[in-house]
Structure 1
Amino acid sequence: MTLDSPQEAFGGNQFQKAQAIAVVHEMIQQTFQLFSTEGSAAAWDETLLDKFCTALYQQLTELQACLMQEAGLEGTPLLKEDSILAVRKYFHRITVYLQENKYSPCAWETVRAEVMRSFSSSTNLQERLRRKE
Protein backbone atom coordinates (compact mmCIF):
# COMPACT_ATOMS: atom_id res chain seq x y z
CA MET A 1 0.00 0.00 0.00
CA THR A 2 1.23 3.48 -0.76
CA LEU A 3 0.24 6.61 1.09
CA ASP A 4 1.21 8.87 -1.81
CA SER A 5 4.30 10.62 -0.53
CA PRO A 6 4.32 14.37 -1.13
CA GLN A 7 6.51 14.40 -4.23
CA GLU A 8 5.44 17.96 -5.04
CA ALA A 9 7.07 19.05 -1.81
CA PHE A 10 10.43 17.81 -3.08
CA GLY A 11 10.05 18.66 -6.75
CA GLY A 12 10.75 21.71 -8.81
CA ASN A 13 13.98 23.45 -9.63
CA GLN A 14 13.05 26.87 -8.29
CA PHE A 15 13.46 25.94 -4.65
CA GLN A 16 15.48 28.38 -2.62
CA LYS A 17 17.70 26.85 -0.01
CA ALA A 18 15.61 28.27 2.84
CA GLN A 19 12.46 26.81 1.28
CA ALA A 20 14.06 23.39 0.98
CA ILE A 21 15.29 23.52 4.57
CA ALA A 22 11.77 24.47 5.72
CA VAL A 23 10.24 21.49 3.88
CA VAL A 24 12.81 19.05 5.29
CA HIS A 25 12.31 20.58 8.75
CA GLU A 26 8.55 20.05 8.48
CA MET A 27 9.04 16.45 7.37
CA ILE A 28 11.34 15.69 10.30
CA GLN A 29 9.01 17.52 12.71
CA GLN A 30 6.04 15.45 11.53
CA THR A 31 8.09 12.24 11.73
CA PHE A 32 9.19 13.12 15.26
CA GLN A 33 5.59 13.74 16.33
CA LEU A 34 4.41 10.51 14.72
CA PHE A 35 7.04 8.35 16.40
CA SER A 36 6.62 10.13 19.75
CA THR A 37 3.06 8.86 20.17
CA GLU A 38 2.02 6.16 22.60
CA GLY A 39 1.03 3.93 19.69
CA SER A 40 4.55 3.92 18.33
CA ALA A 41 5.98 2.85 21.67
CA ALA A 42 3.90 -0.33 21.55
CA ALA A 43 5.12 -1.20 18.05
CA TRP A 44 8.87 -0.61 18.38
CA ASP A 45 11.77 -1.52 20.63
CA GLU A 46 11.81 1.29 23.19
CA THR A 47 15.59 1.78 23.17
CA LEU A 48 15.75 2.02 19.37
CA LEU A 49 12.72 4.30 19.29
CA ASP A 50 14.33 6.62 21.87
CA LYS A 51 17.55 6.77 19.83
CA PHE A 52 15.58 7.49 16.65
CA CYS A 53 13.54 10.27 18.28
CA THR A 54 16.67 11.77 19.85
CA ALA A 55 18.37 11.85 16.44
CA LEU A 56 15.29 13.46 14.89
CA TYR A 57 15.23 16.10 17.63
CA GLN A 58 18.92 16.90 17.05
CA GLN A 59 18.25 17.26 13.32
CA LEU A 60 15.35 19.61 14.05
CA THR A 61 17.56 21.78 16.24
CA GLU A 62 20.28 21.95 13.58
CA LEU A 63 17.80 22.63 10.78
CA GLN A 64 16.18 25.41 12.80
CA ALA A 65 19.58 27.11 13.09
CA CYS A 66 20.16 26.65 9.34
CA LEU A 67 16.72 28.02 8.56
CA MET A 68 17.36 31.14 10.63
CA GLN A 69 20.73 31.64 8.92
CA GLU A 70 19.30 31.16 5.41
CA ALA A 71 16.36 33.44 6.12
CA GLY A 72 18.86 36.12 7.12
CA LEU A 73 20.87 35.64 3.92
CA GLU A 74 17.92 35.60 1.54
CA GLY A 75 15.79 38.16 3.34
CA THR A 76 12.43 36.85 4.43
CA PRO A 77 11.78 34.16 1.84
CA LEU A 78 8.32 33.41 0.57
CA LEU A 79 8.15 29.84 1.73
CA LYS A 80 6.31 27.43 -0.47
CA GLU A 81 3.33 26.97 1.80
CA ASP A 82 1.87 24.46 -0.65
CA SER A 83 4.96 22.28 -0.17
CA ILE A 84 4.70 22.41 3.61
CA LEU A 85 0.97 21.76 3.37
CA ALA A 86 1.67 18.72 1.16
CA VAL A 87 3.96 17.31 3.87
CA ARG A 88 1.33 17.94 6.55
CA LYS A 89 -1.40 16.28 4.47
CA TYR A 90 0.88 13.30 3.85
CA PHE A 91 1.44 12.78 7.57
CA HIS A 92 -2.28 13.24 8.21
CA ARG A 93 -2.95 10.39 5.76
CA ILE A 94 -0.39 8.30 7.65
CA THR A 95 -2.13 9.03 10.96
CA VAL A 96 -5.53 8.11 9.50
CA TYR A 97 -4.05 4.92 8.05
CA LEU A 98 -2.69 3.95 11.47
CA GLN A 99 -6.03 4.71 13.13
CA GLU A 100 -7.96 2.70 10.54
CA ASN A 101 -5.60 -0.23 11.07
CA LYS A 102 -5.73 0.09 14.86
CA TYR A 103 -2.01 0.87 15.09
CA SER A 104 -1.18 -2.74 14.26
CA PRO A 105 2.47 -3.82 13.88
CA CYS A 106 1.79 -4.39 10.17
CA ALA A 107 0.45 -0.84 9.78
CA TRP A 108 3.51 0.55 11.58
CA GLU A 109 5.78 -1.41 9.24
CA THR A 110 4.00 0.15 6.26
CA VAL A 111 4.45 3.58 7.85
CA ARG A 112 8.15 2.89 8.46
CA ALA A 113 8.61 2.03 4.77
CA GLU A 114 6.70 5.15 3.69
CA VAL A 115 8.75 7.42 5.94
CA MET A 116 11.94 5.87 4.55
CA ARG A 117 10.71 6.66 1.01
CA SER A 118 10.03 10.25 2.02
CA PHE A 119 13.48 10.61 3.55
CA SER A 120 14.92 9.28 0.29
CA SER A 121 13.05 12.02 -1.60
CA SER A 122 14.31 14.67 0.79
CA THR A 123 17.86 13.36 0.37
CA ASN A 124 17.50 13.82 -3.40
CA LEU A 125 16.37 17.41 -2.80
CA GLN A 126 19.35 18.04 -0.53
CA GLU A 127 21.73 16.65 -3.16
CA ARG A 128 20.26 18.96 -5.82
CA LEU A 129 20.81 21.92 -3.50
CA ARG A 130 24.42 20.93 -2.83
CA ARG A 131 25.12 20.78 -6.56
CA LYS A 132 23.73 24.32 -6.94
CA GLU A 133 26.14 25.76 -4.33
Structure 2
Amino acid sequence: MALLLSLLTALVVFSAGPGGALGCDLPQDHVLLSRENLELLNQMSTISPFFCLKDRRDFRFPRATVDGTQVQKAQAIAVLHEMLQQVFNLLPTENSSVTWNMTLVNELRSGLHQQLEDLDTCLVEEMGEEGSALDMQGPTRALKRYFQGIRLYLKEKEYSDCAWEVVRVEIMGSFSSTTALQERLRNKDGDVGSP
Protein backbone atom coordinates (compact mmCIF):
# COMPACT_ATOMS: atom_id res chain seq x y z
CA MET A 1 0.00 0.00 0.00
CA ALA A 2 2.90 2.36 0.74
CA LEU A 3 4.27 1.75 -2.77
CA LEU A 4 0.86 2.53 -4.25
CA LEU A 5 0.65 5.81 -2.33
CA SER A 6 4.19 6.70 -3.41
CA LEU A 7 3.29 6.14 -7.03
CA LEU A 8 0.14 8.19 -6.71
CA THR A 9 2.11 11.02 -5.13
CA ALA A 10 4.58 10.86 -8.01
CA LEU A 11 1.76 11.24 -10.50
CA VAL A 12 0.65 14.40 -8.72
CA VAL A 13 4.18 15.77 -9.00
CA PHE A 14 4.27 14.70 -12.63
CA SER A 15 1.31 16.76 -13.67
CA ALA A 16 1.04 19.29 -10.93
CA GLY A 17 3.13 21.96 -9.38
CA PRO A 18 2.92 25.70 -9.32
CA GLY A 19 1.07 27.39 -12.14
CA GLY A 20 3.25 27.92 -15.13
CA ALA A 21 5.66 25.13 -14.16
CA LEU A 22 5.71 24.00 -17.76
CA GLY A 23 6.51 27.48 -19.03
CA CYS A 24 2.94 28.11 -20.09
CA ASP A 25 -0.21 29.11 -18.29
CA LEU A 26 -1.92 26.06 -16.85
CA PRO A 27 -5.31 26.60 -15.25
CA GLN A 28 -5.44 26.99 -11.47
CA ASP A 29 -7.45 23.77 -11.11
CA HIS A 30 -4.79 21.68 -12.87
CA VAL A 31 -3.27 20.56 -9.55
CA LEU A 32 -6.66 19.68 -8.11
CA LEU A 33 -7.55 17.73 -11.25
CA SER A 34 -4.29 15.75 -11.00
CA ARG A 35 -5.07 14.77 -7.43
CA GLU A 36 -8.59 13.75 -8.37
CA ASN A 37 -7.25 11.61 -11.23
CA LEU A 38 -4.83 9.90 -8.87
CA GLU A 39 -7.57 9.12 -6.42
CA LEU A 40 -9.73 7.69 -9.21
CA LEU A 41 -6.86 5.51 -10.41
CA ASN A 42 -6.36 4.28 -6.87
CA GLN A 43 -10.08 3.54 -6.39
CA MET A 44 -10.26 1.53 -9.62
CA SER A 45 -8.40 -1.41 -8.11
CA THR A 46 -10.79 -4.32 -7.57
CA ILE A 47 -8.26 -7.02 -6.71
CA SER A 48 -4.98 -7.07 -4.86
CA PRO A 49 -1.89 -6.72 -7.05
CA PHE A 50 -0.35 -9.50 -4.93
CA PHE A 51 -3.03 -11.89 -6.23
CA CYS A 52 -1.75 -11.20 -9.75
CA LEU A 53 1.99 -11.63 -9.26
CA LYS A 54 2.04 -14.56 -11.69
CA ASP A 55 0.77 -12.23 -14.42
CA ARG A 56 3.45 -9.57 -14.02
CA ARG A 57 5.40 -8.55 -17.07
CA ASP A 58 8.28 -6.20 -17.78
CA PHE A 59 6.85 -3.87 -20.40
CA ARG A 60 10.23 -2.16 -20.75
CA PHE A 61 9.20 1.39 -20.07
CA PRO A 62 11.42 3.67 -22.21
CA ARG A 63 13.13 5.45 -19.33
CA ALA A 64 15.57 7.24 -21.63
CA THR A 65 12.59 8.93 -23.26
CA VAL A 66 11.46 10.50 -20.01
CA ASP A 67 14.94 10.99 -18.56
CA GLY A 68 14.97 14.48 -19.95
CA THR A 69 18.70 15.10 -19.70
CA GLN A 70 19.06 16.02 -23.36
CA VAL A 71 15.55 17.00 -24.45
CA GLN A 72 14.22 20.45 -25.15
CA LYS A 73 11.17 21.77 -23.34
CA ALA A 74 8.85 21.17 -26.31
CA GLN A 75 10.02 17.55 -26.52
CA ALA A 76 9.43 17.09 -22.79
CA ILE A 77 5.91 18.48 -23.05
CA ALA A 78 5.29 16.23 -26.07
CA VAL A 79 6.39 13.19 -24.05
CA LEU A 80 4.10 14.12 -21.15
CA HIS A 81 1.25 14.70 -23.58
CA GLU A 82 1.86 11.37 -25.32
CA MET A 83 1.85 9.56 -21.96
CA LEU A 84 -1.53 11.00 -21.02
CA GLN A 85 -2.95 10.39 -24.50
CA GLN A 86 -1.84 6.75 -24.52
CA VAL A 87 -3.29 6.15 -21.05
CA PHE A 88 -6.53 7.82 -22.13
CA ASN A 89 -6.73 5.56 -25.19
CA LEU A 90 -5.83 2.46 -23.18
CA LEU A 91 -8.59 2.83 -20.60
CA PRO A 92 -11.50 0.49 -21.17
CA THR A 93 -14.81 1.70 -22.54
CA GLU A 94 -18.36 0.84 -21.55
CA ASN A 95 -18.29 -2.32 -23.69
CA SER A 96 -15.27 -3.81 -21.89
CA SER A 97 -15.41 -6.81 -19.60
CA VAL A 98 -13.14 -5.15 -17.03
CA THR A 99 -14.45 -5.28 -13.45
CA TRP A 100 -13.50 -1.66 -12.73
CA ASN A 101 -16.28 0.71 -11.83
CA MET A 102 -17.00 2.38 -15.17
CA THR A 103 -18.16 5.57 -13.48
CA LEU A 104 -14.66 5.94 -12.03
CA VAL A 105 -13.07 5.08 -15.38
CA ASN A 106 -15.19 7.69 -17.15
CA GLU A 107 -14.30 10.31 -14.54
CA LEU A 108 -10.61 9.48 -15.02
CA ARG A 109 -10.97 9.73 -18.79
CA SER A 110 -12.61 13.12 -18.35
CA GLY A 111 -9.78 14.33 -16.09
CA LEU A 112 -7.12 13.07 -18.49
CA HIS A 113 -8.92 14.78 -21.36
CA GLN A 114 -8.78 18.10 -19.50
CA GLN A 115 -5.08 17.66 -18.75
CA LEU A 116 -4.45 16.86 -22.42
CA GLU A 117 -6.17 20.08 -23.43
CA ASP A 118 -3.99 22.02 -20.98
CA LEU A 119 -0.84 20.39 -22.39
CA ASP A 120 -2.03 20.99 -25.97
CA THR A 121 -1.85 24.70 -25.26
CA CYS A 122 1.64 24.37 -23.79
CA LEU A 123 2.82 22.25 -26.70
CA VAL A 124 1.60 24.80 -29.26
CA GLU A 125 3.43 27.57 -27.39
CA GLU A 126 6.67 25.60 -27.13
CA MET A 127 6.54 24.21 -30.68
CA GLY A 128 6.43 27.75 -32.01
CA GLU A 129 9.52 28.62 -29.99
CA GLU A 130 11.67 25.53 -30.26
CA GLY A 131 11.03 23.38 -33.28
CA SER A 132 8.90 21.22 -35.46
CA ALA A 133 6.81 18.11 -35.07
CA LEU A 134 9.73 16.09 -36.46
CA ASP A 135 11.66 16.80 -33.26
CA MET A 136 8.91 15.11 -31.26
CA GLN A 137 8.69 11.86 -33.21
CA GLY A 138 11.60 9.94 -31.64
CA PRO A 139 10.59 10.26 -27.98
CA THR A 140 6.89 9.80 -28.65
CA ARG A 141 7.52 6.81 -30.93
CA ALA A 142 9.19 4.96 -28.03
CA LEU A 143 6.14 5.60 -25.86
CA LYS A 144 3.81 4.38 -28.59
CA ARG A 145 5.78 1.12 -28.83
CA TYR A 146 5.63 0.75 -25.04
CA PHE A 147 1.87 1.15 -24.96
CA GLN A 148 1.48 -1.15 -27.96
CA GLY A 149 3.23 -3.81 -25.87
CA ILE A 150 0.71 -3.24 -23.10
CA ARG A 151 -2.17 -3.61 -25.55
CA LEU A 152 -0.72 -6.86 -26.90
CA TYR A 153 -0.32 -8.15 -23.34
CA LEU A 154 -3.98 -7.41 -22.56
CA LYS A 155 -5.04 -9.23 -25.71
CA GLU A 156 -2.76 -12.18 -24.94
CA LYS A 157 -4.24 -12.40 -21.43
CA GLU A 158 -7.74 -12.07 -22.88
CA TYR A 159 -8.34 -8.88 -20.90
CA SER A 160 -8.47 -10.79 -17.62
CA ASP A 161 -8.99 -9.02 -14.31
CA CYS A 162 -5.37 -9.70 -13.33
CA ALA A 163 -4.10 -8.39 -16.65
CA TRP A 164 -5.99 -5.13 -16.11
CA GLU A 165 -4.63 -4.91 -12.56
CA VAL A 166 -1.06 -5.42 -13.81
CA VAL A 167 -1.66 -2.69 -16.37
CA ARG A 168 -3.14 -0.32 -13.77
CA VAL A 169 -0.05 -0.74 -11.59
CA GLU A 170 2.20 -0.36 -14.65
CA ILE A 171 0.50 2.90 -15.59
CA MET A 172 1.11 4.28 -12.13
CA GLY A 173 4.76 3.22 -12.34
CA SER A 174 5.24 4.80 -15.74
CA PHE A 175 3.78 8.06 -14.46
CA SER A 176 6.20 8.02 -11.54
CA SER A 177 9.07 7.66 -14.00
CA THR A 178 8.20 11.01 -15.54
CA THR A 179 8.82 12.89 -12.30
CA ALA A 180 12.44 13.72 -13.21
CA LEU A 181 11.32 15.05 -16.57
CA GLN A 182 8.73 17.24 -14.88
CA GLU A 183 11.39 18.59 -12.50
CA ARG A 184 13.64 19.52 -15.42
CA LEU A 185 10.75 21.41 -17.00
CA ARG A 186 10.78 23.72 -14.00
CA ASN A 187 14.21 25.14 -14.95
CA LYS A 188 13.92 28.88 -15.37
CA ASP A 189 16.25 29.08 -18.37
CA GLY A 190 14.05 26.79 -20.44
CA ASP A 191 16.84 24.33 -21.17
CA VAL A 192 15.50 21.01 -19.93
CA GLY A 193 18.94 19.45 -20.05
CA SER A 194 20.54 22.00 -17.69
CA PRO A 195 21.47 20.74 -14.22
Does TM-score exceed 0.5, indicating one fold?
yes
Amino acid at match of 1:129: L
Runs of 4+ aligned residues of structure 1 deviating over 2 Å after TM superposition are: 36-43, 73-78
Larger radius of gyration: 2
- Structure 1: stretches of 5+ with no match in the other structure: none
Percent identity over the alignment is 49
Amino acid at match of 2:154: L
**Alignment map for 1:1-133 (pairs within 5 Å):** 1-37=57-93, 42-76=98-132, 78-131=134-187, 133=189
**1:49-89 superposed Cα distances (whole Å, 9 cap, x missing partner):** 01110111001100000000111222437524221111000
Cα 1:11/1:57, change in 2 over 3 Å: same
Alignment check: 8 A CA contact 2:67 2:181 kept: yes
The CA deviation at 1:44 is 1.1
Alignment check: 8 A CA contact 2:94 2:102 kept: no
Aligned residues: 133
The CA deviation at 1:28 is 0.7
Q: Distance in 1 between matches of 2:96 and 2:80?
A: 22
Alignment check: 8 A CA contact 2:65 2:79 kept: yes
Query: Relative to total residues, which structure has the larger helix share, 1 or 2?
Result: 1
Q: How large is the RMSD of aligned CA atoms in angstroms?
A: 1.9
Q: Distance in 1 between matches of 2:182 and 2:59?
A: 22
Q: Distance in 1 between matches of 2:96 and 2:173?
A: 19
Q: Distance in 1 between matches of 2:96 and 2:183?
A: 30
Q: Distance in 2 between matches of 1:40 and 1:116?
A: 21
Query: What TM-score does the superposition give when structure 2 sets the normalisation length?
Result: 0.63
- Structure 2: stretches of 5+ with no match in the other structure: 1-56, 190-195
Alignment check: 8 A CA contact 2:59 2:150 kept: yes
Q: Distance in 2 between matches of 1:39 and 1:30?
A: 19
The CA deviation at 1:46 is 1.1
Amino acid at match of 2:180: N
Give the secondary-structure state (helix, strand or coil) at the position aligned to 2:87.
Answer: helix
Query: What TM-score does the superposition give when structure 1 sets the normalisation length?
Result: 0.89
Amino acid at match of 1:25: H
